Amino acid sequence: MSNFNPRNDFRCHAILLAAGRGRRFDPQGQISKLHQSVQSNVSVVEQSARHLTSAIPQCHIVVRDASDWPASFLQQFSSSIVVCGDADLGMAHSLVSGVQTLPQECDAVVIALADMPFVTVSTIKAIVQALKEGAKIAVPVHQGQRGNPVGFSKALFGELLQLRGDQGARALLKSYPVSEVLVNDTGILRDIDTPADLSGPSAI
């Protein structure tokens, strides 16, 4: 059955997962990749958050410990911060913390990763449009490769809340129909794993 919602007041929220430790960037855990400058002295997570909120103002940013974050970032996104004390148990715990904050009237959610600052605003908007048109799951695709962020309709919120471990929502993409959104955006495939990954095209 289609999950098409013809209302003009379609309500989509976003979750930005920013609670990981990024051990591949710094095995010692002393340097946060999310706080590194990616472009024009803008941090990785700030650029990710700016582009996400430009497309979806209702954004929930999941962090492990708010005390680890610069005051300037907390001030800019203070109303969006969600603290997940169980973040070290795996990505799914951060995701669940974000989903738990979604209001009952929310129709869909786009789940993004904070270490992917090159995703374009137009890509995020295209995912929202696919959800609005009835997609149960919407995934961006560039040259045959699926990437992030991923959108989920309200029908799957219950399933998202049951996730555990470090696999995120991958299992759902294997269990339910997926609407592929074709985009001309290499940013959906690029995350920040090493210092060399910090340079890249701007996301607009």
pLDDT in tens, 94-112: 999 999 999 999 999 999 9
H/E stretch holding 43: strand 42-43
143: left (phi over 0), alpha (psi -120 to 50) or beta: left
Residue range 169-179: average pLDDT?
Answer: 92
6-55 pLDDT tens trace = 456 899 999 999 997 655 565 555 668 898 888 778 999 999 999 999 99
Rounded to whole angstroms, how far apart are CA atoms 137 and 127? 9
Backbone angles phi, psi at 174, to 5 degrees: -95, -15
Name the residue with higher pLDDT: 1 or 164. Answer: 164
Omega prior to 117 cis, within 30 of 0 = no
118 pLDDT higher than 70: yes
Query: What is the topology classification, in CATH, of domain 12-197?
Result: Spore Coat Polysaccharide Biosynthesis Protein SpsA; Chain A (3.90.550)
pTM for this entry? 0.90
In the chain, where are the structural domains located?
A: 12-197
* CA 130 to chain CA mean position, Å: 16
